[in-house]
Structure 1
Amino acid sequence: MRRSEEETQHQMIAAKDAWGEQEGWGKRAAKRGVDIVGALLFFTLFSGIFILIWWTVLATTGGPATYKHRRVGRDGREFDCLKFRSMVTNSAEVLRDLLENDPQAREEWTTTFKLRRDPRITRFGAFIRKTSLDELPQFWNVLRGDMSIVGPRPVVQLELDTYYGPYAQAYCKMRPGITGPWQVNGRSNTTYAERVAMDASYVRNWTLLGDLSLIARTVGAVFSGRGSY
């Protein structure tokens, strides 16, 4: 009798685990469906804005309108993250010279991987960065399956290795997002540690309703411009 009870208990545990896996798969499938529909709607409704920004970047800088940068995605796989180019064409050289000659800028870059006063950014580039319009090409990354509309902020491998520590595994469990908790909670006004904590909390607790709430809050964050530079 005791053995039968133990077998029944094991069967119940196995069934519960299987149900959890199915439920998790269902949530991920639903999230992917929302991503595909959302990206297709974006390209259908806002293609005119996309083309206008593309043309303006070309006309004002003479260089390519978009650029690719390697980011870490789900399961630790790297991908080419797309953005409208907001910087001068020789941005790498400008950054290198700045960090070599400006200790304060070097410390800021080492701490946050961002510069509050970045000489690489063009005038139009400052506008599209402040309004997050520079990230619109990432809807193509969403269609490709590299990214999600909502998720952790995409990072480079060096950031993941340097700052995420035990949270790196959580980051790699999901596709990074165009928007997420960081974008609606202060953006660049937050510390890097706070950003990592927000990403880890999102991975543990995300829901589809929560994603819709973050998308709605993103609109307000974009118009307020708080923490964007």
Structure 2
Amino acid sequence: MMSCKRLLDVALSLLLLCLLSPLLLLAALAIVLESGCPVLYRQTRLGLHGEPFGMLKFRSMVQNAAAIGPYFTQTDDPRITRVGRFIRRTSIDELPQLCNVLRGEMSLVGPRPDVPAQRALYSDADWAQRCSVRPGITGLAQALYRSESTEAQRLAADLRYTREASCWLDLKILLLTLKRLSGKGGN
């Protein structure tokens, strides 16, 4: 039997993919017109139990950006395209992860999946706890801080989520994330 969380993940992901399909097509077209193909970027991330998977995003950087700079971006990173700045600011670049949710690699809500190099930032106990749930498109850290959190704040929020996870908390985080994305969330 499907859990409440998985049922919510599948139902909302399918609904969002259908409703947002015109936006997804426009984003893909804008990327192709500005910087060519590929439209999607697949990055290795660590998921449930630390298992690697290919997380999807709309490509927001120049081609071969990973060869030019680090796995993280900085303010005014020259690798980010004009379209890329817009889709990042609006979080449209994250929408292909709805496919990762449908495939069971991610959830709508959970700690954001880390790249393998970030494993070194955690103690063994914290890592095991963090990887005890599926990573999410959004999480408690994103709902509270968007991308302005420190590593310590993000870790604390992620670990808190793993201890308190429930369908109700997921709904609350989804609503807080929408509020923050709409510009009404404050800091």
Which category of TM-score, normalised to the shorter sequence, fits these structures? over 0.9
Question: Which residue, out of 139, 154, 164, partners 1:180?
Answer: 139
CA–CA distance in structure 2, aligned partners of residues 35 and 164 of structure 1: 27
Question: CA RMSD for the aligned pairs?
Answer: 1.9
**Equivalent residues in 2 for 1:81-100, closer than 5 Å:** 81-95=55-69
List runs of 5+ in structure 1 lacking aligned partners.
1-25, 97-108
The reply on whether 1:163 has 2:137 as its aligned counterpart is no
Structure holding more helix per residue: 1
Q: Please name the residue that 1:193 is paired with.
A: 152
List runs of 5+ in structure 2 lacking aligned partners.
none
The reply on whether 1:71 has 2:45 as its aligned counterpart is yes
Q: Please name the residue that 2:29 is paired with.
A: 55
State percent identity of aligned pairs.
Answer: 42
CA–CA distance in structure 2, aligned partners of residues 225 and 121 of structure 1: 26
Aligned residues: 185
TM-score w.r.t. structure 1 length?
Answer: 0.76
**Bigger-Rg structure (1/2):** 1
Structure 1 residue runs of 4 or more that deviate by more than 4 Å after TM superposition = none
CA–CA distance in structure 1, aligned partners of residues 122 and 182 of structure 2: 30
The reply on whether 1:119 has 2:82 as its aligned counterpart is no
**Aligned residue identity for 2:17:** F
TM-score w.r.t. structure 2 length?
Answer: 0.92
CA–CA distance in structure 2, aligned partners of residues 119 and 204 of structure 1: 39
Shift of 1:225: 9.1
Question: Which residue, out of 144, 159, 166, partners 1:207?
Answer: 166
Q: Is the contact between residue 57 and residue 93 of structure 2 (CA under 8 Å) also seen in structure 1?
A: yes
CA–CA distance in structure 1, aligned partners of residues 184 and 169 of structure 2: 22
Q: Please name the residue that 2:101 is paired with.
A: 142
Cα distance change, pair 66–152 in 1 and its aligned pair in 2 (3 A): same
**Equivalent residues in 2 for 1:6-85, closer than 5 Å:** 29-85=3-59
